[in-house]
Structures are given as structure tokens and as C-alpha cells.
């Protein structure tokens, strides 16, 4: 873990997984981190000391590709290479909900609405799905329209819209209830879009791409608001922002 101002290492390396780590996420309190790995396990870490506070949680039969804490901090949602989603108790490692079934290929991204009642997922099957976080049932039909893998999904803070980034190089904004495309596709990236996020104001989206650039978009118009950010010498696999600073 790194200091965002100085670039100095604040904690780590965190060791315990025995294979590639595909996904990490902070709890909203900033004190805990969850990780998902090719070793088919999940771990919960103390973000300061780097020690494992819970896990490794076992039970998945395939790689854990995406993880996220639910806002209450007591549950973890994960998506797997074997097409399923589960919700785990973050302390005991017991399965609280799932498996959620419906996707027909690997699940690259999972995220939650801030109220903790809904989960969204994006998959290699080119669809996005919205789930009841307790029952594991889909709350709307699968969202279709992307022409390649959906690498990343995120909720608008108010939960009304979803943004997705795809291997087809486009970004779309969806109505979270109806599954209709509200804006997009946004075009400009020349390679797959690996990561997307809403800015806190809800009016702008950032994206990172295999084309080595980061872009800032008007979420309503679908146009870039500034020139692409350049400087990376390889793919931009993840980007995010909380205070207007893009990482």
C-alpha cells in the first residue's frame, strides 16, 4: 500500500496468497482490504499492519477475479471465473448468499450500491446484471449491447445509473432499473477499456484503457472534457478518484 502524496510504501508487502492476485478493494472505513486470487481464495487484511484478519476463505472451485466490500463492512461480494457470484461474511468466511447464477462466462467486475441492497456484475459474456444482494435474484433482465467482454462496472453514487467499460473500446451509461442505455457508446479509446469510475459529482466519468491513456468524460453528453492523459508506457488497468485527483 502506497502514500498517494509521497509515493512511499505505507504497508506491505502483504503475503499469504499462493498465486496471482486479481482484485483488491478497501472497506469504506479505510482500515481493511479484501483480495481475491488465482489461488481460489479471499483474504481480509489489516490495511496498516498487512496481517491477515480473516481468511483465507475457501470454497470457490475457480479463480476469484473480482471482489468488493459491501458498505456495512460485514459482507464481501465476489465474482469468479466459473461464472458465479457469492456473498461472504467478512469475519467468519461463511457464505451468506449465493451462488448467484445467470452469467455464462467469467465475471470480471462486481460492485455494490451504497445502500448494500443491490450488486452489479460485468462479464465476459458481454452482459451486465443487477442482483438482489440478499436473495441472489436478478432485479432486471440482463443488460445487453456491448459487443465484447464487460471488464468493469460501477454505480453512480445515487444508484440510478451504471457505467461500464468494455473490450470493444467503448463506455456506456445504463439505467440501473430498466437496463436501457442512457448515454453512449462513448468512443475515443482505441483499445479495450479496463476501468471506469464516476467522479463524486456524478456528472463525469474517468476511464483507463489498453491504449495507455486516461480520459475524462461528460456523463450526459459522452464527450471528453479534456485531452487524454498520456505518459503511461503500458495498459492502464485501473483508475479511480475520490477528491478530484485521478489515480
pTM greater than 0.75 (yes/no): yes
pLDDT tens per residue, range 197-238: 888 888 889 999 999 999 999 999 999 988 888 888 888 887
Q: Which three cell numbers stand for residue 153?
A: 462496472
- pLDDT score, position 164: 95
Q: What are residue 89's phi and psi, to 5 degrees?
A: -70, 125
Domains of the chain by residue range: 1-142, 158-247
Residue-by-residue DSSP string for 37-74 = ETTS-EEEEETTT--EEEEEE---SS-EEEEEE-TTSS
How many angstroms separate the Cα of 58 from the Cα of each of 40, 53, 72, 125?
A: 7, 15, 22, 25
Nearest-angstrom CA–CA distance, 67 and 179:
23
The predicted model gives 1-15 an average pLDDT of: 73
Distance CA 234, CA 158 (A): 33
CB-count burial class (<10 Å; 0-12, 13-18, 19+) for 218 = middle
Phi-psi region for residue 140, left (φ > 0), alpha (ψ -120 to 50) or beta? beta
The predicted-structure confidence for 89-103, as pLDDT tens digits, reads as follows 988 889 899 899 999
- The pLDDT of residue 59 is above 80: no
Average pLDDT, the chain: 88
Please report, rounded to a whole number, the percentage of residues in the chain having pLDDT higher than 70. Answer: 95
Is residue 164 exposed (0-12), middle (13-18) or buried (19+ Cβ within 10 Å)?
A: buried
Note the pLDDT of residue 244: 58
Torsion of CA 143, 146, 152, 156, to 10 degrees: -50
Same topology, domains 1-142 and 158-247? Answer is no
Architecture of domain 1-142: 7 Propeller (2.130)
Q: What is the pLDDT of residues 120-164, one digit of tens each?
A: 999 999 999 999 998 999 998 999 988 899 999 998 878 889 999
Q: Which CATH number fits domain 158-247: 1.10.3720.10, 2.40.128.630, 3.40.50.2300, 3.30.70.2190?
A: 2.40.128.630
Amino acid at each position: 500500500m502506497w502514500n498517494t502524496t509521497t509515493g512511499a510504501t505505507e504497508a506491505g508487502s502483504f503475503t499469504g496468497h499462493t498465486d496471482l492476485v486479481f482484485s483488491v478493494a478497501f472497506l469504506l472505513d479505510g482500515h481493511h482490504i479484501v483480495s481475491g486470487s488465482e489461488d481460489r481464495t479471499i483474504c481480509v487484511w489489516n490495511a496498516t499492519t498487512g496481517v491477515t484478519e480473516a481468511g483465507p476463505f475457501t470454497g470457490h472451485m475457480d479463480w476469484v477475479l473480482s471482489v468488493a466490500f459491501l458498505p456495512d463492512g460485514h459482507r464481501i461480494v465476489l465474482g469468479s471465473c466459473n461464472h458465479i457470484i457469492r456473498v461472504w461474511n467478512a469475519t467468519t468466511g461463511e457464505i451468506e448468499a449465493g451462488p448467484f447464477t445467470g452469467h455464462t462466462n467469467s465475471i470480471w467486475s462486481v460492485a455494490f450500491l451504497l445502500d448494500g441492497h443491490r450488486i452489479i456484475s460485468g462479464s465476459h459474456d458481454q452482459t451486465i446484471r443487477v442482483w438482489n444482494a440478499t436473495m441472489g435474484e436478478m432485479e432486471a433482465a440482463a443488460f445487453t449491447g456491448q459487443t465484447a467482454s464487460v471488464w468493469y462496472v460501477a454505480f453512480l453514487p445515487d444508484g440510478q445509473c451504471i457505467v461500464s467499460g468494455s473490450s470493444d473500446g467503448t463506455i456506456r451509461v445504463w439505467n440501473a432499473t430498466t437496463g436501457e442505455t442512457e448515454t453512449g457508446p462513448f468512443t475515443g479509446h482505441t483499445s479495450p477499456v479496463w476501468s471506469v469510475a464516476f467522479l463524486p459529482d456524478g456528472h463525469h466519468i474517468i476511464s483507463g484503457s489498453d491504449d495507455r491513456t486516461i480520459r475524462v468524460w461528460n456523463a450526459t453528453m459522452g464527450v471528453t472534457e479534456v485531452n487524454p492523459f498520456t505518459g503511461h508506457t503500458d495498459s492502464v488497468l485501473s483508475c479511480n478518484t475520490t477528491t478530484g485527483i485521478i489515480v
